Amino acid sequence: MEISCAGFIPTITLEITTANNDLLKTNVPKEGDIIAVFCSPGHGMIKSLRCDFLITFVDSSEVSQNRLNVPYTFTIMGELFIPNLHNANMSFSFAGTSRDAMIDAA
């Protein structure tokens, strides 16, 4: 798993390798699903971190229909889930003076 904060929105790349393709029988990851990431520090001095990522791309190795116990790999990519980010009806701009915009941003 790799989380990158280099672009406009944090992104995640997750590569999963299973011993067989049983995972695909019950939970097939697809675009539009949510990946929930939770990181626990292990002690109470540091707060835990939880982020949701929207899956934007899924790629997989070829699945063998004849043999079930063959290693299977798939890659999932996603971006931080921000509600209404790609909605054309919502505006993420600020109105008013520069001072008002700075207050809204803060």
User: In the prediction, which pLDDT does 85 show?
Assistant: 74
- Other C-beta atoms closer than 10 Å to the C-beta of 104 total 11
Number of H helices, E strands in the chain: 2, 5
Q: pLDDT band for 103, please (50, 70, 90 cuts).
A: confident
Residue 42 vs residues 2, 35, 52, 86: alpha-carbon distances, Å = 20, 22, 21, 36
For the entire predicted model, the pTM comes to 0.68
Query: What's the DSSP call for residue 45?
Result: T
- Could you report the per-residue pLDDT of 35-90, keeping only the tens digit for each? 999 988 887 788 888 899 999 998 877 766 666 677 788 899 999 998 877 666 66
Domain count, the chain: 1
Domain membership of residue 16 as a residue range: 2-105
Q: pLDDT band for 17, please (50, 70, 90 cuts).
A: confident
User: In the prediction, which pLDDT does 55 show?
Assistant: 93
User: In the prediction, which pLDDT does 90 show?
Assistant: 60
pLDDT above 70 (res 106): no
